[in-house]
Amino acid sequence: MFKSCTGAVGELGMNELFTQLFLPSGLLFFPLIVGCMGSLTFGVVGSYVTARRVTYIGTGISHAVVGGVGAAFFFQSVTGWGWLSPTVGAFAAAVVSGVIIGRVILTSGHKADSVITAVMVIGMSSGVLFLNKTPGYHDPMSMLFGDILLVSRQDLPVIALVNAGVILIGLLFYNRLLMVCFDEEFARLRGINADAYFMLLILLTALTTVVMMKIVGVIMVIALLSLPAMTGALIGRKLWHCMLAATVICAFCVILGLVVSYILDLSSGPLIVVFSGAVHLVALTVRRFWPVSRLAHGS
Amino acid sequence: MSLKHVAFRYPNGTLALKEVNLTVHHNRNVAVLGPNGGGKSTLLKLILGILKPCAGTIEVMGSPPHVACNYLGYVPQHATIRPDFPITVREIVLHGCAGNHWLGWHASGCRHCVDSVLEEMGIAALANRRFCQLSGGERQRVLIARALSGHPAILLLDEPLANVDPASRAKFQETLRGLGRRMTVLSVSHDLAFLADGVDRVVFINGGSREFDPKEVQAANVQELYRGGGGTGNE
């Protein structure tokens, strides 16, 4: 985790903060770009999974990814396969666990809870076991909690490409995904392949989880997938309103988290999640005194 | 719409329906009544093609249900729908006329159709409201409007009075009677309030099926019918 050079607000000029944030040479420049790009993905995909009430799928996938990363480290060191990077392992584990969870939900929904738990714990445990047997030292903590401040210029193209793909698919199929998320049965009756769209949603969740785990780690990626979207759902009348609100809230929390972590010499990932939680609690409190009927009469 | 010797068995082996025979002609208003667990919703899912019978045949407009799905308008119990979903009334009704475009883009004229259906159902003023803000009766009207926007020939309703308050029931039933004059309406309910005027036939489902004239049912002992109404075959 990044530790601030000064650690005190008084000693840290605003100019230095701006330099770190907005100049390419600044420590916070690339994390800021990745964080804002990720906010868009979290806003779009998070709103779908929150509205469909399947955030637990993200939890299952994000934990199962540890198994993929561990296996990739192990087989890379044993076989020498250079292409088998931790990111490839994470993608493979996310897709496989997503397909397993998705099929179980579609075919026997009542078993989903136990299957997701099994996928989650087996994924994590096997990941730790693989790391135990991998030569050299691999810190599982960086995987679990991530570090946005370690994001470099080299990471940017991959993250940007996957984010762009996820957002494009999420927006292109907006009407279909909206229909399937709202009433799957009715969508089927209208001749729509609801199962395929549900699996597409799971795939988007899996991709988001893998790419974004670098920012906050596998444990807290689910927080950014759900908390801003849940807050957005308190505000928006339509799903795309919620996506927009969730994106803005997520970006706000990422920027605030980065700035505060720099000033107060604290870990950025947990701070971002804490701010997301705080914003959600504030929104819930406001909603209690200002119900949705008053928010939504606007148009 | 015709069902001949239809039977359905759930994967766990439970026989939900046996020897169900039912023929519904154009522009008839049919009430399917029966006790909870009698197989009413199963029958509806068979007609919709969601479930497949283990015996017998089902034809809708001369075709199997899954082929005829564009002729069917379906109004589920709104308890099965996520009420807090961020979606407006207009968006829900638009789903009813969702075309076959692979991206789900709406055909031209769809928005005009939605406007006229909203007007017809008396919910035009609610078009931009969120679904969760509506009362039970209003939600039911929205779901009917969604079904109507697909221009169905047959309207299937699952427990349409379940969440409608007593004060709104008469108005709601009047709406259903109006719809029954221009399309086939099949309403599934455990609620005997459906025996009100406007229903052409009553079908009792309790494992099997029995058809009655509404007046016949009104005159009969209701409890007796519920206990013995599931006899097999039409009588």
Please state, in angstroms and rounded to a whole number, the distance separating the CA atoms of residues A58 and A98. Answer: 9
Residue A2 identity: F
Within the 86-105 window of chain B, which residues sit less than 8 Å (CB to CB) from chain A? 86-88, 91-92, 95-96, 98, 100, 103-105
> A177: closest CA among A243, A260, A111?
A243
Spell out a b/e string for B6-15, using b for 16 or more CB atoms within 10 Å of the CB, else e. bbbeeeeeee
List Cβ neighbours of A252 (8 Å cut-off, separation of 6 or more). Answer: A275, A279
Residue A14 identity: M
Is B69 close to A233, i.e. CB distance below 8 A? Answer: no
pLDDT at residue A39, rounded to an integer: 92
What's the mean pLDDT in A115-133? 91
> B62 to chain A, minimum CA–CA distance in Å?
18
pLDDT at residue B196, rounded to an integer: 58
> B219 to chain A, minimum CA–CA distance in Å?
37
pLDDT at residue B99, rounded to an integer: 67
DSSP assigned state of B88 = B
| CA atoms within 13 Å, Cβ hemisphere of B68 | 22
> B201 to chain A, minimum CA–CA distance in Å?
26
Q: Using CA atoms in the order B57, B59, B62, B67, what is the torsion angle rounded to 10 degrees?
A: -110
Measured between beta carbons, the chain B residues lying within 8 angstroms of A190 are 69, 95-96, 98, 150
Does the pLDDT at position A213 exceed 90?
no
Does the pLDDT at position A281 exceed 90?
yes
pLDDT at residue B156, rounded to an integer: 93
Poorest-pLDDT segment among A71-75, A109-113, B105-109: B105-109
* CA closest to B50 among chain A residues: A189
Residue B133 identity: Q
How many Å from the N-terminal Cα to the C-terminal Cα in chain B? Answer: 19
Q: What is the pLDDT along chain B (235 residues), one digit of tens a residue?
A: 899 999 999 888 888 888 888 888 888 888 888 887 788 888 999 999 888 999 999 999 888 888 888 889 999 876 667 778 999 999 999 998 876 667 777 777 788 889 999 998 889 999 999 998 888 888 888 999 999 998 899 999 988 887 777 777 777 778 888 888 889 999 888 776 665 566 788 888 887 777 777 666 665 655 666 665 444 444 3
Most confident among A92-96, A106-110, A149-153, A183-187 (mean pLDDT): A92-96
Measured between beta carbons, the chain A residues lying within 8 angstroms of B103 are 172-173, 175-176
List Cβ neighbours of B112 (8 Å cut-off, separation of 6 or more). Answer: none
ipTM tops the 0.85 cut: no
Within the 170-209 window of chain B, which residues sit less than 8 Å (CB to CB) from chain A? none
Most confident among A19-23, A113-117, B187-191 (mean pLDDT): A113-117
> A140: closest CA among A67, A56, A205, A77?
A67
SS3 B206: strand
Enter the pTM of the model.
0.84
List Cβ neighbours of A28 (8 Å cut-off, separation of 6 or more). Answer: A20, A21, A149, A258, A259, A262
User: Cβ of B174: how many Cβ atoms within 10 Å?
Assistant: 13
pLDDT at residue A2, rounded to an integer: 42
Please state, in angstroms and rounded to a whole number, the distance separating the CA atoms of residues B210 and B207. Answer: 10
- Would you place residue A162 in the very low, low, confident or very high pLDDT band (cuts 50, 70, 90)? confident
* CA closest to A52 among chain B residues: B85
> A187: closest CA among B150, B129, B29, B95?
B95
pLDDT at residue A140, rounded to an integer: 67
**Pairing status of strand B201-206 against strand B29-33:** parallel
Does the pLDDT at position A7 exceed 50?
no
Measured between beta carbons, the chain A residues lying within 8 angstroms of B106 are 175
Residue in the structure block whose two tokens are 């089902």:
B58
Is B103 close to A179, i.e. CB distance below 8 A? Answer: no
Measured between beta carbons, the chain A residues lying within 8 angstroms of B91 are 178, 238
List Cβ neighbours of A3 (8 Å cut-off, separation of 6 or more). Answer: A265
Most confident among A81-85, A140-144, A207-211 (mean pLDDT): A207-211
Cα→Cα distances A172→A164, A168, A199, B107, B186, Å: 12, 6, 16, 16, 37
> B171 to chain A, minimum CA–CA distance in Å?
25
Structure tokens at B106: 């709406």
List Cβ neighbours of B34 (8 Å cut-off, separation of 6 or more). Answer: B40, B190, B204, B205, B206, B226, B229, B230
- Would you place residue A1 in the very low, low, confident or very high pLDDT band (cuts 50, 70, 90)? very low
> B86 to chain A, minimum CA–CA distance in Å?
5
pLDDT at residue A82, rounded to an integer: 77
Is B50 close to A191, i.e. CB distance below 8 A? Answer: no
Measured between beta carbons, the chain B residues lying within 8 angstroms of A187 are 95
Is B146 close to A186, i.e. CB distance below 8 A? Answer: yes
Is A185 close to B80, i.e. CB distance below 8 A? Answer: yes
* CA closest to A237 among chain B residues: B86
Q: What is the mean pLDDT of chain A?
A: 85
- Is the four-CA dihedral A168, A173, A174, A180 of positive or negative sign? negative
Element (H, E) at B168: helix B166-180
Element (H, E) at A220: helix A194-235
Please state, in angstroms and rounded to a whole number, the distance separating the CA atoms of residues B197 and A4. Answer: 78
pLDDT at residue B126, rounded to an integer: 93
Poorest-pLDDT segment among A42-56, A210-224, A267-281, B49-63: A210-224
In this complex, the residue of A47, A183, A237 whose CB is nearest that of residue B81 is: A183
Residue B38 dihedral angles phi and psi, to the nearest 5°: -80, -15
What's the mean pLDDT in A252-278? 90
Poorest-pLDDT segment among A24-28, A107-111, A259-263, B217-221: B217-221
Radius of gyration over alpha carbons of chain B, in Å? 18
* CA closest to A188 among chain B residues: B50
In this complex, the residue of B50, B106, B130 whose CB is nearest that of residue A185 is: B50
Please state, in angstroms and rounded to a whole number, the distance separating the CA atoms of residues A291 and B219. Answer: 49
Structure tokens at A138: 């691999």
Does the pLDDT at position A274 exceed 90?
yes
Please state, in angstroms and rounded to a whole number, the distance separating the CA atoms of residues B140 and B116. Answer: 17
Please state, in angstroms and rounded to a whole number, the distance separating the CA atoms of residues A36 and A120. Answer: 28
pLDDT at residue B233, rounded to an integer: 41
List Cβ neighbours of A153 (8 Å cut-off, separation of 6 or more). Answer: A30
Poorest-pLDDT segment among A149-158, A271-280, B221-230: B221-230
* CA closest to B99 among chain A residues: A190
pLDDT at residue A299, rounded to an integer: 37
